[in-house]
Amino acid sequence: MPVSVVTDSTASMPAEEIAAFDLDVVSLWVNDGDSHVPDTDIDLHEFFARLSNTAALPTSSQPSVEAMVEAFTRAIERGSDVVGVFISEQMSGTIQAARLAAQMVAEQFPAARIELVDGRSNCMQEGYAVLAAARAAKAGESIERCVQAAIETTKRTRFLFSPASLEYLRRGGRIAAASALLGQLLQVRPILTVEEGEVTTFAKVRTTSRALAEMGRKFADDVKEFGLANVIVHNIGDPAPAIAFAHEFVEPVTGGPVRVVPTSAVIGVHVGPAVGLVYETQGDLRP
């Protein structure tokens, strides 16, 4: 039985990857005043320009169960089993909606097989797990092997990012107000990462330039020890700092051009302007 892969918009995957593997992307939503807009329909340039100048931050919401049902049903009606790889359960209720949808679809299609994987992160750290499942599916592997490919990939990826401000994370409830205030008072520039499905602090430095240099140093050290399979640089807002970071710190390690890809609007709502680095190594970074 062929396997179709479904994911969500926070994976922030390049359009060419989505097309190449015929991925079905279920959108989260951005709630901005009276508007309720799919993450995938937002003009990112305009959105991020406005985000940095607004007092009332938009909020986000997970996909509906109905949207998940539609995505799973499309795959099943094509004669496929389904593997869904979604944003970390600690960050969103998206995979909970997927579980409910899978139960509903199973009632209508008892022979259908739907397997769900917690991507343990978002952005391309989630995206690399999606791609691993999709490559296995394209190679004709079983649904079990597609699931295993996604899970194994989560052991080999790292996500480092440096937000320009802690305010967005504070207002979104991702860090405590006291921690955000202390960071502002001490003029600390944190480097954040994702471990065990949650945002945590990787390091604290005094300037943005030192934060980016430390991200580049960790990347180079990991590549030297574990090898490199894939890498991408993310930007939230102005792409210029991310492009400069890629040129100065990432491309000397890879020896060639590195893609700079904006995150989804939902990620931008919670993080604010930032530079991010996601990479997949050849060896395991964690058990």
Structure tokens at 27: 């959108």
- Looking up residue 117, the CATH number of its domain turns out to be 3.40.50.10440
Assigned domain for 149 exists: yes
Residues 132 and 273 placed together within one structural domain of the fold = no
Assigned domain for 11 exists: yes
User: Residues 237, 12: contact at Cβ < 8 Å?
Assistant: no
Hunting for tokens 């926070």 — which residue is that? 10
Residue 173 confidence (pLDDT): 54
Kindly give the parts of the chain with pLDDT less than 70: 169-187
DSSP 73: H
Residues 140 and 7 placed together within one structural domain of the fold = yes
Residue type, 234: H
Which residue from 54, 40, 55 is spatially nearest to 267, judged by alpha carbons?
A: 40
Residues 103 and 232 placed together within one structural domain of the fold = no
Residue 181 confidence (pLDDT): 44
Structure tokens at 156: 């080999």
Assigned domain for 245 exists: yes
Assigned domain for 51 exists: no
Residues 144 and 182 placed together within one structural domain of the fold = no
- Final residue in a domain of this structure, among 153, 180, 205: 153
- Domain containing 257 equals 157-280
- Final residue in a domain of this structure, among 135, 153, 171: 153
User: Residues 113, 107: contact at Cβ < 8 Å?
Assistant: no
Residues 165 and 272 placed together within one structural domain of the fold = yes
Assigned domain for 255 exists: yes
Residue 42 confidence (pLDDT): 95
Residue 51 confidence (pLDDT): 79
User: Residues 5, 83: contact at Cβ < 8 Å?
Assistant: yes
Residues 184 and 145 placed together within one structural domain of the fold = no
User: Residues 196, 120: contact at Cβ < 8 Å?
Assistant: yes
Looking at the structure of the chain, the number of domains it has is: 2
- Looking up residue 193, the CATH number of its domain turns out to be 3.30.1180.10
Residues 105 and 124 placed together within one structural domain of the fold = yes
Which residue from 85, 43, 44, 36 is spatially nearest to 61, judged by alpha carbons?
A: 36
Assigned domain for 74 exists: yes
Residues 138 and 183 placed together within one structural domain of the fold = no
Residue 180 confidence (pLDDT): 45
- Final residue in a domain of this structure, among 153, 171, 188: 153
Residue 100 confidence (pLDDT): 98
- Confidence (pTM): 0.94
Say if strands 230-236 and 274-280 run parallel, antiparallel, or are unpaired: antiparallel
Residue 187 confidence (pLDDT): 66
